Amino acid sequence: MEAVHEHDHGHDHPSGIMRWVTTTNHKDIGTMYLWFSFTMFLVGGVMALVIRAELFQPGLQVVEPEFFNQMTTLHGLIMVFGAIMPAFVGFANWQIPMMIGAPDMAFPRMNNWSFWLLPPAAMLLVISMFVPGGSAGVGWTLYAPLTVQQGMGMDLVIFAVHILGMSSIMGSINIITTILNMRAPGMTMMKMPLFVWTWLITAYLLIAAMPVLAGAVTMTLTDRHFGTNFFNAAGGGDPVLFQHIFWFFGHPEVYIIAIPAFGVVSQVLPAFSRKPLFGYASMVYATASIAILSFLVWAHHMYTVGMPVEAQLYYMFATMLIAVPTGVKVFNWVATMWKGSLTFETPMLFAIGFLFLFTLGGFTGLVLSLTPVDVQLHDTYYVVAHFHYVMVAGALFSAFAGVYFWLPKWIGKMYDEKLGKLHFWLSIIFFNVTFFVQHFSGLAGMPRRIPDYALQFADFNMISSIGAFGFGLSQLLFLYILVKAIRSGEKAPEKPWEGADTLEWTHLPTPAPYHSFETPPTVK
């Protein structure tokens, strides 16, 4: 047998708007996911700046309290469902087929649908601000019974969440099938790059968690319009039931965001340490353990709702248990760098930034897992600081690391290294200016989701707002770096990162051809 390896480079890939509407190519779809995600990141970012502008000083200066609540809600929903999740699905689309030696995703048409469901959902979220009564002002957790009292903006948000869920489920089935069935000969499960493993686990989480969210928002909808009383205590329902259902989805959701970020960092750190990932197998098992545990700890978000002491103890210890596999991962990342031949290009800087700040976010999570402490800190800015260390410094920094790392492979051009480093330093400094002080505001008792506050919190809030504007502006630099690289970047060498050793670097030219791995490579 003789494998046919010829490429017909005479055939250029299609162009024009229809290319993007009808495309089933995983690279095109990955690109659309990434640009969509970045657009939503800017939209959600502007909402964050509205919040921080209002909080710059005590008193009400910029927006009405109702609009402030809508901003906190939409900021959360857009960043979680519109920015971070699609960003990692974009990475998955681009990278998974290339990393496992597959020509495309298993269900290319479904892949196209998964993406094209996102823009209508995002539009629903955004236009909900302009309907009578404005958008939902209930927080991203959509807690009942507040949701029952909202205007029609709430219905648009519910509809958007349904559409986003459909997109996620289709994407997940596609990813699982691709990884399971389209690996190149020799690419056994335990030879898969860790990024692929993390996405396999994430897709499991998504499939398990999404129907629960869909059920929760459907019950909210029927409570609002069809006379049911699932969450209405006056009608015999139970608002706490909503919290249980929401967090059964919501806690795995945190890992749906974090686990692909672990995957990106697990590719970047070894490449710039010029060493294989330390403890590959333990990384796989630790990731799977985190995923399993994520379904067993949801009520740690609900200590203040009231629960038996036995339940409090269970949730406290189960939550603390997550620190064990997470610790394994952090240890392995550090051990990967240990005695490595390190260089500090932009992707590596963001990966190390992730490592520092995510670990800090993990520690504050450990603090919050302690029931007596959480009862004091619940719904304070300490919690806001904690989850922004996990979501922004964790997921977003890892996404930046991934973009800088794979950009040469995607477009065949290099980004400006000096500007990339500047982007990193501005981001990490302003991120900490914004969020580190929020630990202190929270410890001092400042509640979250309020547009006005006591004078004692003024200094911390002013610092935080200055940091937020700095962080936001730094991301415009990122946009400039991207545009500059795409328009006039220097030609990327075939393998710009010496230590990168996955299939997309070793078996494909740079930039990656429109169709890759028409015949599967053999992995040794």
Partner 1 sequence: MWTVAAGEGAQFAIVSRRNNSSSQHARLLVFGSLGLFTLSVGIGFALIGAWPVMPFAGIECVALFLAYRWLQSHDDDFELITIDADHVVVQARDGSKVERHQLNRHWAQVVTEESPGGRVRVFLRVHGREVDFGRLLVDDARLSLAKRLREQLSRPVDS
Q: Which residues pair with 491 in a beta bridge?
A: 413
How far apart are CB 228 and partner 1 at their closest, in Å? 9
Cis peptide before 308 (omega within 30 of 0): no
Q: Which residues pair with 447 in a beta bridge?
A: 380
How does DSSP classify residue 78?
I
Q: Which of residues 226-255 bind partner 1 (CB under 8 A)?
A: 230, 238, 241, 244-245, 248
Residue 288 found at the interface with partner 1 (CB under 8 A): no
In terms of Cα–Cα distance, which of 376, 370, 365, 361 is closest to 446?
376
Residue 520 found at the interface with partner 1 (CB under 8 A): yes
How far apart are CB 518 and partner 1 at their closest, in Å? 4
300 is catalytic: yes
| Among residues 34, 78, 99, 102, the one that binds partner 1 under rule CB under 8 A | 102
Q: Which of residues 134-173 bind partner 1 (CB under 8 A)?
A: 169-170, 173
266 is catalytic: yes
C-alpha pair distances (Å), 518 with each of 5, 268, 478, 511: 8, 27, 34, 16
With contacts defined by CB under 8 A, name the span among 7-15, 74-82, 323-331, 448-456 that binds partner 1: 7-15
Q: Measured in Å, how far apart are the chain's first and last C-alpha atoms?
A: 19
Write the CB contacts of 94 (distance below 8 Å, at least 6 apart in sequence).
Answer: 26, 27, 30, 31, 34, 406, 410
In terms of Cα–Cα distance, which of 275, 396, 420 is closest to 347?
420
With contacts defined by CB under 8 A, name the span among 35-43, 136-144, 378-386, 513-521 that binds partner 1: 513-521
How far apart are CB 212 and partner 1 at their closest, in Å? 6
Residue 109 found at the interface with partner 1 (CB under 8 A): no
Separation between Cα atoms, residue 121 and residue 171, nearest integer Å:
15
C-alpha pair distances (Å), 328 with each of 387, 393, 400: 21, 19, 24
Residue 208 found at the interface with partner 1 (CB under 8 A): yes
The residue behind tokens 């906190």 is 72
How does DSSP classify residue 186?
T
| Among residues 177, 232, 318, 379, the one that binds partner 1 under rule CB under 8 A | 177
326 is catalytic: yes
With contacts defined by CB under 8 A, name the span among 148-156, 201-209, 371-379, 422-430 that binds partner 1: 201-209
Q: Which residues pair with 380 in a beta bridge?
A: 447
Residue 327 found at the interface with partner 1 (CB under 8 A): no
Phi, psi of 151 (to 5 degrees): -80, -165
Residue 181 found at the interface with partner 1 (CB under 8 A): yes
| Among residues 77, 79, 216, 468, the one that binds partner 1 under rule CB under 8 A | 216
Q: Which DSSP string corresponds to 391-409?
A: IIIIIIHHHHHHHHHHHHH
- Tell me which of 421, 448, 507, 515 is the catalytic residue: 448
Residue 307 found at the interface with partner 1 (CB under 8 A): no
* C-alpha count within 13 angstroms, C-beta hemisphere, residue 355: 22
255 is catalytic: yes
What is the set of active-site residues?
A: 75, 104, 140, 167-168, 251, 253, 255, 266, 300-301, 326, 329, 448
Instruction: Return residues touching partner 1 (CB under 8 A).
Output: 1-4, 6-11, 13-15, 18-19, 21-24, 102-104, 106-107, 169-170, 173, 176-177, 180-185, 187, 204, 207-208, 210-212, 214-216, 218-219, 222, 230, 238, 241, 244-245, 248, 513-515, 518-520
